[in-house]
A = this chain, B = another copy of it.
C-alpha cells in the first residue's frame, strides 16, 4: 500500500510544526490561536494531499477507538444478520464502527473472540452470548469493560441487557393455539440452558397448565450441532401413536424451517392436521403454502436500544446496569387456523 499522508507531510509542505496542523485539522484553531492565513493554507494542503487521519494513532493517544465489538452466534443466520445491520446503522449514527465475530454457539470461540475484540481496543461490546459463556461475561464485568447482552440475558448476572418477554410471547402463542381448538400442542426447542429458551419453554408450560392441560406437555429438544436429525426424530415421536400432536410450537426460526421441511416430506397437512407457530421471522414463512404464524421480535428497536445503552456505559463507566425488556408481537396467519 502506498504510504499514507500524515500530519508530518502537511507540516513539511506548509513549513510549520505538526502541532499546528493538528490544531487546524481538528478545528481547535480558536483555542490554539492559529492565524487565519495559516489555517487556510494548511487546510488547502491537506485537501491537496488528500489527508486522511490515522485512526489507529488517534485512538492510541485518546484511549478511545470509536469502535464497538459485536459477537453473534452466526452472522449468516438472517436473525443475527438483521440485528447486526440495525446495530451497524445505529452505531454509524453515533460515529462508531462495528467489528464482529461469530461464536458458533461455542464457548471457546466466544472467549477467543472477546479477547480478539478487546485487544483491538473496542470501546465496548454487544454480546449475544453462547451457552456456558456466563463466566466470560462476569469477567467482562470485573474488568469494567462496557458491554450489553442481547437476546439472552443471564438471570444470575447483573449486567445491562436487551431482551424480549420470551415467556410472555410463548404464552400468547400457545394460548392462541389453544383458542384455535388445539389440545395436543408439542414444542420443539434447542437443548440448551440459555435463559431465553428456558423462558420460552416456561411460557409454553404455563399456558398449558392455565388451561388445565399440564398432562399434555410434549417438549422435544434438538441439539444445535445435530439439528436435522434431532428434529426429525422429535417430530417422528410427536406425530406417532394414536394421540399425535395437533399443533407444533417451534422455539426459533431455524428449528421451524428444518421442521417444516420434514413435515412437508411426511405429507402432513398444515393447518388441518397440524397447526404451526414459530418464534422469529423468516422469508420462508411467507412462502410456505399456508403462511406461518410467528412471533415477531422488534429487532430494529432492540438493536438501537443496545447501541444506545452501550454508549451510555462507555460514556459513564459508573452507569447502573439496565435490563430492557421489549414486547414481541404474535403475527397470526393461516398455519394456526382453527381446526
Which residues of chain A have a CB within 8 Å of any CB of chain B?
1-2, 52-57, 59-60, 65, 67, 74-78, 80-82, 84-85, 88-89, 92, 97-102, 115-121, 123, 143-146, 257, 260-261, 264, 282-289, 317
Determine how close the nearest CB of chain B comes to the CB of A100; give it in whole angstroms: 6
A283 and B284 contacting across the interface, CB-CB below 8 Å: yes
How distant is A103 from chain B, measured CB to nearest CB, in Å?
11
Judge whether A143 and B74 touch: CB under 8 Å: no
A72 to chain B, nearest CB (A): 10
A77 contacts across to B, CB distance below 8 A: 81
> What are 8 A-B pairs at a CB distance below 8 A?
A1-B317, A54-B119, A76-B78, A76-B82, A88-B100, A88-B101, A89-B102, A284-B286
A28 to B68, CA, bound (A): 32
Contact B54 A121 (CB under 8 A): yes
Give the residue name and chain of the B residue nearest to A79 (CB). Answer: B76
- A261 contact from B56, B92, B286, Cβ within 8 A: B286
Q: Are A100 and B101 in contact (CB under 8 A)?
A: no
Pairs A-B, 7 closest by C-beta atoms? A76-B85, A81-B81, A284-B284, A289-B289, A2-B144, A76-B82, A76-B81
Q: Contact between A99 and B99 (Cβ–Cβ < 8 Å)?
A: yes
Enumerate chain B residues within 8 angstroms of A81, measured Cβ to Cβ.
Answer: 75-78, 80-81
Q: Of B80, B120, B144, B257, which is within 8 A of A1 by CB? A: B144
A146 near B76 with CB under 8 A, answer: no
Closest to A85 in B: B76
Contacts of A261 in B (CB 8 A): 286-287
CB distance from A3 to the nearest CB of B (A): 9
Across the interface, which residues of B come within 8 angstroms of A99, CB to CB?
A: 67, 97-99
Residue of B nearest to A50 (CB): B143
Contact of A60 among B53, B60, B78 (CB under 8 A): B60
A80 to chain B, nearest CB (A): 8
Question: In whole angstroms, how far apart are the Cα atoms of A127 and B104 in the complex?
Answer: 24
Q: Please tell me if the beta carbons of B2 and A143 are within 8 angstroms of each other in the complex.
A: yes
> With A52-B118, A287-B260, A287-B284 as given contacts, are A75 and B88 in contact (CB-CB < 8 Å)?
yes
**Chain B residue with the shortest CB-CB distance to A121:** B56
Give the CA-CA distance A82 to B285 in the complex, in Å: 20
User: In the complex, A28 Cα to B310 Cα: how many Å?
Assistant: 39
| Bound CA–CA A287/B262 (angstroms) | 10
User: Interface centre among A77, A121, A145, by most B CB within 10 Å?
Assistant: A121
Q: CB-CB < 8 A to A78: which residues of B?
A: 76, 78, 81
CA distance A97 to B99 in the complex (A): 8
Chain B positions within 8 Å of A102 at CB level: 85, 88-89
Q: Known contacts A56-B65, A120-B67; decide if A1 and B146 are in contact (CB<8 Å).
A: yes
Chain B residues with CB under 8 A of A75: 75, 81, 84-85, 88
Instruction: Report yes or no: B287 in contact with A52, Cβ–Cβ below 8 A.
Output: no
Residues of B near A84 (CB, < 8 A) are 75-76
The residues of B that contact A288 with a CB separation of less than 8 Å are 287-289
| Complex contacts, A144 vs chain B, CB 8 Å | 1-2
The distance in angstroms between the C-alpha atoms of A52 and B116, with both chains bound, is 9
Return the chain B residue nearest A299 by Cβ. B76
| Residues of the B chain whose Cβ atoms lie less than 8 Å from the Cβ of A57 | 60
